[in-house]
Amino acid sequence: MPAEPDISVMLMALLDGRSLPAGELAYRAHVSPQTASSHLARHRYYALCSADVAQAIEALSVIAPLGHVHSLREGKSVEAHWVLR
Q: Which residues of the chain have pLDDT under 50?
A: 1-3
- The amino acid present at 24, given as its one-letter code, is E
Quick check: 29 and 9 in contact, CB under 8 A? yes
Three-class DSSP category at 67: coil
- pLDDT value for 27: 93
Domains for the chain: give ranges and CATH numbers: 5-84 (1.10.10)
Q: What does pTM read for this prediction?
A: 0.50
